[in-house]
Amino acid sequence: MSIIKLRTTDGLDIAAIHTKATSRALVLWLHGIAVNRDEHLGFFRDGAARLANEGFDSLRIDFRGHGESSGSPADFSLVGQMLDVQAALRYLSDSYGPTLPPLFLVAASFGAPAALFAALRAPFLIRGLTLLAPVLSFRRTFLEPETAWAKEIFNAEALKALPRTNRLDFGDGFAVGARLIEEMHLIEPERALRDLQQRVVVIHGDHDSMVPFAVSEQLTRGLQNCVFVPVHGMDHGFIDADDEDGVGERSQRNKKLILDTIIEACV
């Protein structure tokens, strides 16, 4: 399984891994911020392997400034993410041609807004989405944060220094630039969610310490094309709130539930 490089329209190289099975369907995986194509604790890597056993092809990409893709964290932005996804979609269309299998998006956390807008732009190509602990509101997740984790990042001192430093640290030295923060003021993923025609499955743990569970619960309510799957006791991603390493029985049960739900959503 070798790494391929996809060229974006603005000249960056996006690292990707293409897993082929029997082309029952095709999944493009979009990771969250400050991780890579494997996602936290290897969830996307393991997920692609599980789906391959079920006959699904996968493409996992590193967004710009992440993993083995070119660019720095300061180059990361929602518009940049969209260009990365477009490069992935071009690659898949060229690779499969007229035999392109039904295409679905799976996105985690900060990968969700790009998934929503990509699906809105290409309803003829993208059949459906599964979103895990998704960022559906920049305002409630970051600009007016509702979790302690986000309040620590978006503190008054860091925001005051941003125009001078062009740097806001999301943890572990992953510092984004002012462009991403400005985009958060202008772009509303929740509007894309309301406008989508495709089926959207949203999975969110009710103990999420990073992205507010209440946002997913409230924004999906009443939308005919949305299925909301709450998971009791689950923190961000698939881990149980009391299991940071994700190896415990409840975390593994969450992981299986999520992957089973993805498979069900892609048939």
DSSP 154: T
Tally the C-alpha atoms within 13 A of residue 20's C-alpha that lie toward its C-beta. 7
Condensed to tens digits (0 to 9), the pLDDT of residues 131-179 reads 999 999 999 999 999 999 999 999 999 999 999 999 999 988 899 999 9
Condensed to tens digits (0 to 9), the pLDDT of residues 60-98 reads 999 999 999 999 999 999 999 999 999 999 999 999 999
Q: What is the largest CA-CA distance in the chain?
A: 53
Superfamily (CATH) of domain 3-138+189-265? Alpha/Beta hydrolase fold, catalytic domain (3.40.50.1820)
Query: DSSP secondary structure string, 226-263?
Result: EEEEEETTB-STT-BTT-TTS-SHHHHHHHHHHHHHHH
**What is the Cα–Cα distance from 38 to 46, expressed in whole angstroms?**
8
Mean pLDDT of the chain: 96
The whole-number pLDDT of residue 1 equals 65
Angle (deg, nearest 10), helices 178-186 and 78-96:
90
Query: What is the bridge-based pairing of β-strands 226-231 and 25-30?
Result: unpaired
Query: Strand locations in 22-174, DSSP E?
Result: 25-30, 56-61, 103-108, 126-132, 168-169
